Structure 1
Amino acid sequence: MCSSRPAEHRGRWWPGGWSLRTRLLFGQVGLLALVCLGIGLGAELALRGYLLHQLDGQVHEVARRSAVLSGLPPPRPAMARELGQHPGPGPAFLDAPGQPIGVVAAVVDDRPGSIRLLSAGKLTRNGERIGLSPAAQDQLLQFALESEPPPPPPPGAGRDGRPEPGRRPVTVDLDGVGSYRLSTEHDRFGRLTVSGLPTAGLDATLLRVLWTLVVLSGVALLIASVLGVLITRRALAPLTRVAATARRVAGLPLDRGEVELPVRVPERDADPRTEVGQMGSALNRMLEHIAAALSTRQASETRVRTFVADASHELRTPLAAIRGYTELARRRDDELPPEVAHALGRVASESDRMTHLVEDLLLLARLDSGRPLERDEVDLSHLAVDAVSDAHVAGPEHVWKLELSAEPVLVTGDAMRLQQVLGNLLTNARLHTPAGTTVRLALARDDRGAVLTVADDGPGIPAELQPEVFERFSRGDSSRSRRDGGTGLGLAIVAAVVRAHHGGIELNSASGSTEFVIRLP
């Protein structure tokens, strides 16, 4: 049973992680390499067959000549000297005119009961006969016995009166002399002659052709690689531009704010006649739909924010009247029945809570509309001391800690809104943690500006709620109960004010720990 490698263990050499350009280039070069390999292999096999056929023809000629010369009586000494023959090992017919250089020959007496090698030798480049090693002689004798040709036919049975050759020549690696193609023939005395020619020339030719093919294939692959890079880059340039357009769109903050989509795939890359053009055209249509959806969403959000701002503004006047008349009526609490006095107290508390809600909604509406905040020098250390003091009075059952740097931490911003940020974070910690929880407010400075941290050791915020804690009306209690007195706007105001100061806020929460980190430039 086999299993694929896990994706995390696949390195950069794993083809699945290559770019399309790289895969096309490697596929093109690999296909060309296979073609070159096939052509080279076919050429080598064809050339080897052709050269081997020629060599076999020469071997047959040498074998027939050797068999004829072996059947002639030996020349007289004077004639041998005139023919340039010299005594030495091997058959005398090796010195006959026309014998090729490097030929190996042997004469074998294969009569039953007297099988033996009569003589064996080799003709050198200098025209001298040299002997063969005992191992080579044994090889020739064994070859002669295993490949003995049929008895010679009657005279004139072959072409031009010559006997037909025996079996096809066989390649034998002779000890000490190399590889030879050997063939056998019978002479007129019935003895078996073995003759052979070296295959070194054939092997050298094949090797030269092989190296030539390797060099030419390497040059062809190099040229194909360079041209492939240029052609592939040019062919995939539209796809690269389409991908760049998609990346630019992906980098836009489509999840918030008023967003425009000025990015489109160029017309030259949106030609529906090509595959890349079809993708570019589809991407343009998708961007148009996204732009329409964003415009619709933005218009809806604008209408909602306008309504909330107008409604909140209009509610301030009746709320102020309600609070005024309620305070006026409560001046005579001692003259009113108890149930009426209690009712007026509830009216006053609810009008106060509704006033705070209206003020929060108006603040968010102003921040959404981009109205500038006050830009003064603010001492965050002083604001932190006041915020912790107020929190201690509001929640004496909690443990409050304040950590300040040795030097005052100064930023440029709206002191009232920054005070509201600190108050909302501490109130959030007080309302959502049990009594006895330690809440720590730390203020420090780093290279990028001021760092304000509000942390507690309470139960933490559930992981499924963390992505939504800065959304408006986000509450941990989905039943919308009012037992904690929260409106769900506290952290939304914190995030909006921090963004208006060009800062950032982070949440890190787990079981037993919650930490809000604010960075202000």
Structure 2
Amino acid sequence: MLVAMIALLAAVCLVVGSISLLLLRGFLISQLDGQLDSVGHRFAQSYGHKPPCGTEQDGGPPCFLLSPGQRFGTLSARIVDGNMSQSGVLGGDGTPHDIGRRDDRDILDVPVDGQPHTRYIGNLGVYRLIAVERPDKSAVFVTGLPMTEVNTTLVRLGWIELVVAAAGLMVAGAASTLIVRATMRPLQRVAATAGRVAELRLDRGEVALAERVPPGDTDPRTEVGQVGAALNRMLEHVASALEARQASETQLRQFLADASHELRTPLAAIRGYAELTRRSEDYVPPDVAHALSRVSSQAERMTSLVEDMLLLARLDAGRPLAREPVDVSQLVVDAVSDAHAAGPEHRWTLRLPDEAVLVTGDATRLSQVLANLLANARVHTPPGTTVLAELSGGPAEASLRVLDDGPGIPPSLLPHVFGRFARGDSSRSRAAGSTGLGLAIAHAVVVAHGGWVGVESVPGRTVFTVRLPMHGASPVSPPHNGAVAAAVPATASNGTAPNGSVRNGAVPSATVPTAAVPTTAVPTADSHGQAR
């Protein structure tokens, strides 16, 4: 904007300077022509009278040049029958000088019309010439005045205008910069307010949107004030919408927590009565025994779902977790052992660092994260799939990766794998024993520990990565490697997994038997994650 303004001022200065030079040139030439006309007619009228030098001689300079009042550089010539009879120019020493035959042609070409004409005459430079014929047509008298003073004046004025315009542009540029900065300062404050709002996390949790444009920048009489007032109104509407959303989410979380808590007692009673009836010594018909077995099984399943929902509700409410040093290496060994016992048809491999990896957190919840990730790999990959659990530790964070060489996750489903109740089909089948909350719980627990969890998947390679801050370290920042992060809304989403269901299954602890894994059952892995 400032550059355009300076360019416009420069163009205006150029136009004004050019017009002033043209007008001045016209005025000076007009003044010179008046003098030339007077000198020319006086020269023509004086011929035939007694010349100042005594006698006129053909071939020499005209004696008219010695008349009083002649300017230095005045040119005069007499042409008889088309030939130069006399020609000369008044020198700076006050004496006439011969022009020279080489410049006669320029003088002879001047039209005899009594009008001034511009000609360039050899070493003399640019002249204004006028040709006047005697009344008896016996001779033509040419008189000229140099344009040196006119050109010198124009050049001098041009330089003056250039210097003045340059100085004026610099002053105007400096003044414009100060004015623009002062004018834009309120807009900068409005932009700063919008920038602070843009940096707020508005997608989840309770948001206190207190940022507003200062009252001094909301004057409706100015354009910037109108923008500031409009931004304040928009922020008011956004704050109201966020408060309504937060109230709705709080009410929903409270309802889930209350419902889950209230359902635990009747579910426990159903399971207890069903088990008591099955263990009764009285004869129970086979169909009744089968029905009781199904009631007990579904009650256990419902209990697992309620426990998961209650855990998510507590995590969403910001319920603090236990904070104590946890040996993640031991948790990984135990989780892989349990997974091997639950899925012996898979190849389970393990890679651990030489030293223990300690983080600060809740050992029970972290164990649940590991169990859910390994169960996810077991349930949604075919038998014979190799699953690698790899743990590494650094100065600031611990990294756990669960890799498998299964069919992978479709790209359309990747953004939703950490969603709650995510299902791959409309029937919401639970044939694989999944509650649809396993990865959502893993996400919530990892985030509650100040960590990050993401997934990358292509056919033949799926990698779930969990990053946790080391004991005493600050929270982990998310990477920028293109992995799908676990920052997804807690809503159901649809997609198709390789086997017809979403790879998002939480396996109840009762279905993963705790068994020690022999050394040969968990082979080591090479650098590519393949079993040896």
TM-score bracket for this pair, using the shorter chain length? 0.7 to 0.9
Q: Name which of 137, 149, 174 aligns with 1:201.
A: 149
User: Using CA pairs below 8 Å that are at least 6 residues apart, which structure has the higher relative contact order?
Assistant: 2
Partner of 2:174: 226
Is 2:216 aligned against 1:271?
Answer: no
- Equivalent residue of 1:462, what SS? coil
Partner of 2:488: none
Partner of 2:476: none
> How does 1:422-501 map onto structure 2 within 5 Å?
422-501=370-449
Q: Distance in 1 between matches of 2:102 and 2:333?
A: 108
Partner of 2:69: 98
Matched letter for residue 85 of structure 2: L
Q: Distance in 1 between matches of 2:282 and 2:293?
A: 13
Q: Which moved more, 1:35-44 or 1:208-217?
A: 35-44
Partner of 2:124: 177
Once the two structures are aligned, what percentage of the paired residues are identical?
54
- Equivalent residue of 2:68, what SS? coil
Partner of 2:184: 236
Deviations 1:137-195 (A, max 9, x none): 222222x2xx122xxxxxxxxxxxxxxxx12x122222332222121112466222222
Q: Distance in 1 between matches of 2:348 and 2:59?
A: 118
Q: Distance in 2 between matches of 1:89 and 1:454?
A: 115
Partner of 1:346: 294
- Equivalent residue of 1:176, what SS? helix
Partner of 1:160: none
Matched residue pairs, number?
Answer: 468
> How does 1:4-403 map onto structure 2 within 5 Å?
23=1, 25-72=2-49, 79=54, 90-109=61-80, 111=81, 115-132=82-99, 135-142=102-109, 144=110, 147-149=111-113, 166-167=114-115, 169-187=116-134, 190-331=138-279, 335-403=283-351
Q: Which moved more, 1:446-455 or 1:486-495?
A: 446-455
Q: Which moved more, 1:233-242 or 1:370-379?
A: 233-242
Q: CA deviation at 1:73?
A: 5.7
- Equivalent residue of 2:123, what SS? coil
Q: Distance in 2 between matches of 1:141 and 1:447?
A: 101
Q: Distance in 2 between matches of 1:510 and 1:424?
A: 20
Note the residue ranges of structure 1 that are not aligned, 5 or more in a row.
1-22, 150-165
Structure 1 residues 132, 454: CA separation in 2 closer, same or farther (over 3 Å shift)? farther
Note the residue ranges of structure 2 that are not aligned, 5 or more in a row.
470-532
Deviations 1:105-124 (A, max 9, x none): 33323x3xxx3233433332
Deviations 1:8-41 (A, max 9, x none): xxxxxxxxxxxxxxx2x23433333333233222
Q: Does the Cα contact within 8 Å between 1:181 and 1:199 map onto a contact in 2?
A: yes
Structure 1 residues 210, 373: CA separation in 2 closer, same or farther (over 3 Å shift)? same
- Equivalent residue of 2:70, what SS? coil
Q: Which moved more, 1:202-211 or 1:429-438?
A: 429-438
Matched letter for residue 177 of structure 1: L
Q: Distance in 1 between matches of 2:281 and 2:4?
A: 93
Structure 1 residues 132, 409: CA separation in 2 closer, same or farther (over 3 Å shift)? farther
Q: Distance in 2 between matches of 1:399 and 1:86?
A: 130
Structure 1 residues 191, 253: CA separation in 2 closer, same or farther (over 3 Å shift)? same
Q: CA deviation at 1:128?
A: 4.0
Q: CA deviation at 1:391?
A: 2.3
Q: Which moved more, 1:45-54 or 1:438-447?
A: 438-447
Q: CA deviation at 1:448?
A: 3.0
- Equivalent residue of 1:341, what SS? helix
Q: Does the Cα contact within 8 Å between 2:61 and 2:86 map onto a contact in 1?
A: yes
Matched letter for residue 24 of structure 2: L
Q: Distance in 2 between matches of 1:124 and 1:453?
A: 103
Matched letter for residue 348 of structure 2: W
- Structure in which a larger fraction of residues adopt helix: 1
- Equivalent residue of 1:372, what SS? coil
Q: Distance in 2 between matches of 1:89 and 1:487?
A: 125
Q: Distance in 1 between matches of 2:43 and 2:360?
A: 113
Q: CA deviation at 1:257?
A: 0.3
Q: CA deviation at 1:364?
A: 1.1
Deviations 1:83-125 (A, max 9, x none): xx9999643433433221122333323x3xxx32334333322
Structure 1 residues 488, 196: CA separation in 2 closer, same or farther (over 3 Å shift)? farther
Q: Does the Cα contact within 8 Å between 1:71 and 1:187 map onto a contact in 2?
A: no
Partner of 1:154: none
Structure 1 residues 38, 348: CA separation in 2 closer, same or farther (over 3 Å shift)? same
Q: CA deviation at 1:411?
A: 0.9
- Equivalent residue of 1:31, what SS? helix
Q: Does the Cα contact within 8 Å between 1:133 and 1:176 map onto a contact in 2?
A: no
Q: CA deviation at 1:406?
A: 2.7
Q: CA deviation at 1:272?
A: 2.4
Structure 1 residues 514, 204: CA separation in 2 closer, same or farther (over 3 Å shift)? farther
Partner of 1:413: 361
Q: CA deviation at 1:459?
A: 3.8
Q: CA deviation at 1:326?
A: 2.6
Structure 1 residues 344, 53: CA separation in 2 closer, same or farther (over 3 Å shift)? same
Q: CA deviation at 1:478?
A: 4.2
Q: Does the Cα contact within 8 Å between 1:133 and 1:175 map onto a contact in 2?
A: no
Q: CA deviation at 1:135?
A: 4.8
Q: Which moved more, 1:255-264 or 1:462-471?
A: 462-471
Structure 1 residues 221, 329: CA separation in 2 closer, same or farther (over 3 Å shift)? same
Structure 1 residues 130, 394: CA separation in 2 closer, same or farther (over 3 Å shift)? farther
